[in-house]
């Protein structure tokens, strides 16, 4: 029997799109049957719980900004009072005792305040842009992790599907060998050793198939978790044939640009916010200036029933100026503390640059090593197939023993599975490099 593994190689390179390209997406909230990688990513970007939470955090940030900036609007309040003097105060003026008020008093005052000079509001106005930017970057970071995780899970499922196909084909070969060995044993051509060995190999292959299917089930459940899809729903994936040998390649000459990384941009934004905080502490030396105006309704009468019969209104406008002169050393200490925090963020930036550089170096080293292993695994798979086909012909002709045939069959299966595992490692490490370079596309 001549076993040809070439179609499996073509089938392995399935519809695994590169991270930088997102094709046709579903317009529905649900996930289409036989979903492609692009559709999975699109679904995840629309439904993943972490992304919805990040969106809510973004909205919360907008409300916080609006709340902080609301101080620039007039602040209007109303104050009401009602009181009864058990003993009306008496003052002696010019030798005469004069009652200072009446038994019942009531007032309603409307007050409007308008901030004119306020360090807190200056700081809030300037920081609003950076707060929004920080919230946007948090959403982007979550999207990047989502795209990478979903892609890796897709590749992992693809690998499992092909492993099961290999095991199925292995079982078919073993079943034929078992039938042949049994027939030879029953006709007395060989002893029962070959027959028993074939039975053992077939039993092991069936057990391996069951384990692979259980693992595949978990991987589908993990994909549902990444998609925030209810575990009870069914999911089917599309593996449209496509030659991917060119797509697993990567331009290893592309230079690392740390500024493209979201983490770096987040730290830069924190530096700007901290710089504004330092400026705010310096602005605390400025006076606070605000304008105000009020209008009051005042009622008083000795008889409660007639309290609101007479009104004595009052109204004032003016300016409030508060000049901070001395607060111990609080303002000086706050400025120094904020400056030290700026210095610490600079060190964080240096440390992050080193970490990103190391992460990129590790991802690149892993990719290159996996590419070497992939080429070696592909060659070994071809050689194992050739050896198996040759030994199978020799075994059928009675030249080779059954043990040699089983060894060749085991080597072939091992080479096939190793090829798939290494292929997944190559695709996974390529994603790691794209993430390290900051080139993952998250456009939904």
Q: Is residue 93 part of a domain?
A: no
CA distance 221 to 229: 9
For residues 166-175, one letter each, b for 16 or more C-beta atoms within 10 angstroms of the residue's C-beta and e for the rest, the string is bbebbbebbe
Q: With CA atoms as reference, report the closest residue to 439 among 294, 275, 255, 304.
A: 255
Q: What is the pLDDT of residue 14?
A: 38
- Residue ranges making up the domain that contains 173: 6-77+118-287+326-437
Q: Is residue 100 part of a domain?
A: no
Token pair 């589908």 is at which residue?
220
Determine how β-strand 104-117 pairs with β-strand 314-322: unpaired
Give 444's pLDDT tier (boundaries 50, 70, 90). Answer: low
Query: Is pLDDT larger for residue 232 or for residue 422?
Result: 422
Least confident of 19-23, 205-209, 308-312: 19-23
Q: What is the pLDDT of residue 4?
A: 47
Helix (H) or strand (E) holding 14: none
Any idea of the CA torsion for 165, 169, 172, 177, to the nearest 10 degrees?
-150
* Rounded to 5°, angle at Cα 362 from 135 and 443: 35
For residues 298-311, one letter each, b for 16 or more C-beta atoms within 10 angstroms of the residue's C-beta and e for the rest, the string is ebbbeeeeebeeee
Beta-carbon contacts of 99 under 8 Å, excluding residues fewer than 6 positions away, are 88, 89, 90
State both tokens at 27: 């317009």
Using the predicted structure, report yes or no on whether residue 188 has a pLDDT greater than 90: no
Phi-psi region of 233 (alpha: psi -120 to 50; beta: other; left: phi over 0): beta
Q: What is the DSSP letter of 287?
A: P
Give the helix ranges, DSSP H, for 13-48. 37-47
Per-position DSSP letters for 216-277, written without gaps between them: HHHHHHHHHHHHT--TTS---B---B---TTTT---TTPPP-GGGSHHHHHHHHHHHHHHHH
Q: Is residue 411 part of a domain?
A: yes
Q: Is residue 241 part of a domain?
A: yes
Q: Are 237 and 154 in contact (CB under 8 A)?
A: yes
What's the CATH code of the domain at 391?
A: 1.20.1600.10
Q: Is residue 399 part of a domain?
A: yes
432: number of Cβ within 10 Å:
18
Q: Are 256 and 436 in contact (CB under 8 A)?
A: yes
Least confident of 17-31, 338-352, 400-414: 17-31
Each residue of 208-243: pLDDT tens digit? 999 999 999 999 999 999 999 888 888 888 776 444
Each residue of 428-441: pLDDT tens digit? 999 999 999 999 98
Q: With CA atoms as reference, report the closest residue to 5 among 395, 373, 378.
A: 378
Query: Is pLDDT larger for residue 291 or for residue 400?
Result: 291
Q: What is the pLDDT of residue 248?
A: 81
Q: Is this prediction's pTM over 0.75?
A: yes
**Alpha carbon separation from 408 to 24, 206, 394 (Å, rounded):** 44, 19, 12
**Domain count within the chain:** 1
Each residue of 50-96: pLDDT tens digit? 999 999 999 999 999 999 999 999 999 999 999 999 988 888 888 88
State both tokens at 325: 């002169």
Q: Is residue 302 part of a domain?
A: no
Q: What is the pLDDT of residue 18?
A: 36
Helix (H) or strand (E) holding 397: none
Average pLDDT, the chain: 87
- Give the CB-side neighbour count of residue 139, counting CA atoms within 13 A: 21
Q: Is residue 210 part of a domain?
A: yes
Q: Is residue 149 part of a domain?
A: yes
Q: What is the pLDDT of residue 33?
A: 79
Phi, psi of 347 (to 5 degrees): -65, -40
Q: With CA atoms as reference, report the closest residue to 400 among 385, 412, 387, 417.
A: 387
CA distance 277 to 275: 5
């Amino acid at each position: 029997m001549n076993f040809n593994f070439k179609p499996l190689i073509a089938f392995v390179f399935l519809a695994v799109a590169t991270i930088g390209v997102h094709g046709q997406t579903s317009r529905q909230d649900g996930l289409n049957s036989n979903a492609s990688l692009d559709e999975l990513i699109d679904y995840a970007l629309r439904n993943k719980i972490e992304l919805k939470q990040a969106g809510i955090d973004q909205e919360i940030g907008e409300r916080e900004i609006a709340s902080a900036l609301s101080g620039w609007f007039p602040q209007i309040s109303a104050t009401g009072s009602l009181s009864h003097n058990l003993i009306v105060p008496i003052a002696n003026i010019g030798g005469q005792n004069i009652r200072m008020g009446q038994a019942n008093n009531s007032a309603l005052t409307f007050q409007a305040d308008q901030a004119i000079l306020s360090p807190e509001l200056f700081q809030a106005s300037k920081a609003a842009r950076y707060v929004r930017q920080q919230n946007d970057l948090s959403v982007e970071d979550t999207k990047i992790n989502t795209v990478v995780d979903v892609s890796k899970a897709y590749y992992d499922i693809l690998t499992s599907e092909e492993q099961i196909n290999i095991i199925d084909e292995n079982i078919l070969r073993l079943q034929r060998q078992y039938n042949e060995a049994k027939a030879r044993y029953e006709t007395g051509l060989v002893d029962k050793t070959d027959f028993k060995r074939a039975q053992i190999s077939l039993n092991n292959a069936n057990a391996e198939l069951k384990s692979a299917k259980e693992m595949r089930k978990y991987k589908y459940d993990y994909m549902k978790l990444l998609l925030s899809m209810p575990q009870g729903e069914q999911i089917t994936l599309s593996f449209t044939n496509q030659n991917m040998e060119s797509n697993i390649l990567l331009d290893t000459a592309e230079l690392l640009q740390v500024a493209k990384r979201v983490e770096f941009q987040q730290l830069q934004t924190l530096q700007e916010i901290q710089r504004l905080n330092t400026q705010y502490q310096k602005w605390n030396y400025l006076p606070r200036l605000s304008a105000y105006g009020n209008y009051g309704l005042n009622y008083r009468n000795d008889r409660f029933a007639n309290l609101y019969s007479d009104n004595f209104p009052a109204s004032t406008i003016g300016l409030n100026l508060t000049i901070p002169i001395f607060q111990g050393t609080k303002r000086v200490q706050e400025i120094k503390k904020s400056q030290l925090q700026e210095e610490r963020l600079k060190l964080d930036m240096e440390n992050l640059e080193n970490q990103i550089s190391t992460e990129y170096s590790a991802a690149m080293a892993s990719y290159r090593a996996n590419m070497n292993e992939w080429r070696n695994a592909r060659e070994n798979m071809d050689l194992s197939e050739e050896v198996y086909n040759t030994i199978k012909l020799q075994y059928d002709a009675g030249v080779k023993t059954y043990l040699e045939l089983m060894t060749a069959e085991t080597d072939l299966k091992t080479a096939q599975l190793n090829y798939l595992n290494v292929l997944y490692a190559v695709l996974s490490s390529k994603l790691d490099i794209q993430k390290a370079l900051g080139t993952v596309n998250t456009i939904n």
